[in-house]
Amino acid sequence: MALWMRPDMPVKPPYVAVFRNNFVLNEAREMKFRYSADERCQLFLNGERVGDGPERGDAQYWYYQNCELRLEPGEYCLTARVLCFGRDLTAHAQMSIAHGLWIDEPDGILSSWQWQLEFGFHYRKPYPDWGVFPRFDAEPANWNILEGHGGEWREVAYFDDDRELHAPELPPMRYEPETHYRHDGNRIVFDDYVCVWAEYVFSGSGTVAIRWGETTYEEPEINIHNLKGAKGKRDGKYLISTGNTFKLNGGRCRWVDYWWQAGRYLEIECDGPVLENVTFHRTGYPYHRGNGLFSRNPQLNSLLGMAYRTLEACSHETYMDCPYYEQLMYVGDARLEALSTYVITSDTRLVKKALRQLARSQQPDGSIFSRYPARVDQLIPTFCMIYIMALHDYALWQDDPEFVCELLPTARGIVDYLNRNFREGLLYLPEWRFIDWVPEWTHGEPPGSAESGTSSPLNYLGVLALQRMSELEEHFGSRRLAISNKEFAIELEQSIWKHYYNPVRGLIADDLEKQHYSEHPQVLALLSGNYPQLIDGLRRERNLPKTGIYFSFYYLEACYKHRLADLFYARFAEWFKLEKQGLKTLPEEFNNPRSDCHAWSSHVLYHYFASIQGRRPTVFGGKGMQIQPLFGARQPDTVLAQV
């Protein structure tokens, strides 16, 4: 049980409360304290930012943050700006238990607290970046509130909160000056894709409108359903985004954003010369990499740099699918982010946190949510199976058997979920049976999947998950369960072949009626076993619906397994077209993407090391590292350099 503070009067979300503590030090000292907030907060000392947090958790597992300050004698004001937007308006990845602020300072210096609201704000939902914290319209407000000045300050109320607070698992996120940008009229254009905290200083009277965007568009409208528009070479005229507005009533005021922004474009429209200054600080997970050189081939090195920046932009206090839109950690994306992490760093803290958080979403039937933490539940059953693969990846690349054993019960629960939904030799799974974004498919599902409840790609993902689970049980768990999972995988694989294989075409159909075909089941079958006739089919039938940028991970993985260098490099070459579109990061889809920066597309970083160079472990614990490069006569010129 901990004592938290909140306003001493009822306040209905959405609101932002600022808590202040004035104190005096008679001698220099180092002050250490812990803090937490719900939903989250920023800390300022005499108006200067000193912290942000807590690290993003979930309703079952809330964090505190540490703060250490070296202070000289003098007068100080510590303020904490606490976000309390509520379920309807807070970011989709932000969970909440009870709004408030918690401070644990053992020396009693921070003992007397007051509060007031950031008044004059009307909050509204963002668009098209639908998953982030809300936008606002600000009337004349108390612009000095972060310094602890102005307005009416009231004594706080305290309440008992029984949540258990956990130490942070990750290092502090980056907070580094970002100065690589240029001015283009009323726009600021960043040299690269950025995730930045922004701070503005205004003076005088007038109105200011601020909008951020990933890119500019060629037309002033986008499709409201899939949030897509004509992007061309990313040098269009139109910035499509809702932003924040300020009405200034004279004097000098400062605004510090309460969450970081993502993209390449910032538009600032003022009805007069009221903008004095704007500064930016880059944020994200603090990966540490060498000199920035991946390959001696300039074109390949440029592509891998884009992949690395994509991974960076999608790595924060959790992995994210994309930093501009929902900022949610999806299982399918997180697996590929983790694999890319393994090949660039030995730091696995973000991977371990991701696997633990996703495990905490497990439901009574054994399924796990497709994304977590999230304020809106969602189930994609294929992502349950991919979670088992992600745990197997960790066991293969890292020597950490205790962690694998910790999460083995979660994986067993997923196997139970598959057993519950296994009938007539196939998996029939509920909810959104997403496989991949394919132009010929509807809503990411193979034809017939929504009606029948099953498909061959869905079932083959089950085979792969059960095969990986059998190996995990054999090495870390139960010999009996290892045999059971292996038998389940064999039964399922044989049944898929019986129901979906068309010997006339030499291909596996997507649907039970054998009317529709794609690359997806052929690729997954090749990953699960040895089917030379499917290789012939892939080479012969070039008009099959292709794996998208996400599922091409599995395509490339199958090519590496079966040493199909010609197919591997033909598909890998698709990534080289992306920079020519004006992109600085890798997108959600090869063509006409919604998101210009999407985590799952960065898996070429993994494939460069694990497939092109062929460096990957052969046994659990990151051991038995093999070096089997994938060379072939049909490599594109861009990857002919010695790698």
236 and 320 share one domain: no
**Residue type present at position 373:** P
Same-domain check for residues 243 and 140? no
Average pLDDT over residues 142-155: 94
Instruction: List CB contacts of 28: < 8 A, sequence separation 6 or more.
Output: 70, 71, 72, 73
Find the mean pLDDT for residues 465-470: 98
Cis peptide before 39 (omega within 30 of 0): yes
Domain final position from 251, 282, 313: 282
Question: Do both 329 and 261 map to the same domain?
Answer: no
329-345: burial string, b at 16+ Cβ within 10 Å, e else? bbbbbbbbbbbbbbbbe
Q: Is the Cβ–Cβ distance between 358 and 350 less than 8 Å?
A: no
Task: Examine the domain organization and report whether 229 and 268 are in the same domain.
Answer: yes
Instruction: Tell me whether residue 510 is in a domain.
Output: no
Res 636: pLDDT: 46
Residue 368 within a domain: yes
- Positive or negative, the Cα torsion across 264, 266, 267, 273? negative
Dump pLDDT digits (tens) for 512-538: 999 999 999 999 999 999 999 999 999
Cα distances from 156 to residues 83, 266, 290, 427, in angstroms, run 16, 37, 48, 55
Among 104-113, 199-208, 284-293, 408-417, the minimum mean pLDDT is found in 284-293
Q: What is the pLDDT of residue 134?
A: 98
Closest CA to 196 of 284, 282, 258: 282
Q: Per residue in 233-270, pLDDT tens?
A: 999 999 999 999 999 988 899 999 999 999 999 999 99
CA 562, CA 504: separation in Å to the nearest integer? Answer: 23
Closest-CA residue to 258 (of 393, 163, 419, 146): 146
Cβ count within 10 A of residue 268: 18
Same domain? For 263 and 326 the reply is no
Residue 43 tokens read as: 């800390």
Same domain as 206, residue 156: no
* 593, pLDDT greater than 80: yes
Helix, strand, or coil (residue 287): coil
Residues 138, 218, single domain; the answer is no
Task: Tell me, yes or no, whether 95 and 27 share the same domain.
Answer: yes
pLDDT score at 311: 98
* pTM listed for this prediction: 0.96
Q: Which domain holds residue 254?
A: 176-282
Q: Let me know if residue 485 belongs to a domain.
A: no
100 within domain boundaries: yes
The verdict on 585 and 445 lying in the same domain is yes
- Number of structural domains the chain divides into: 3
H or E, element range at 365: none
- Does any domain span residue 461? no
Q: Which position has the token pair 């990061």?
A: 585
Q: Do residues 206 and 59 share a domain?
A: no
Residues 423 and 569 in one domain: yes
Do residues 31 and 116 both lie within one domain? yes
Q: Can you state the angle between helices 331-344 and 381-397, rounded to 10 degrees?
A: 20
| Residue that terminates a domain, selected from 282, 306, 336 | 282
CATH number of residue 322's parent domain: 1.50.10.10
Domain CATH number, residue 184: 2.60.120
Q: Which of 145, 166, 187 lies at the terminal end of a domain, its last residue?
A: 166
In a domain, 462, yes or no: no
Phi/psi of residue 37, nearest 5 degrees: -155, 160
Q: Is residue 43 part of a domain?
A: yes
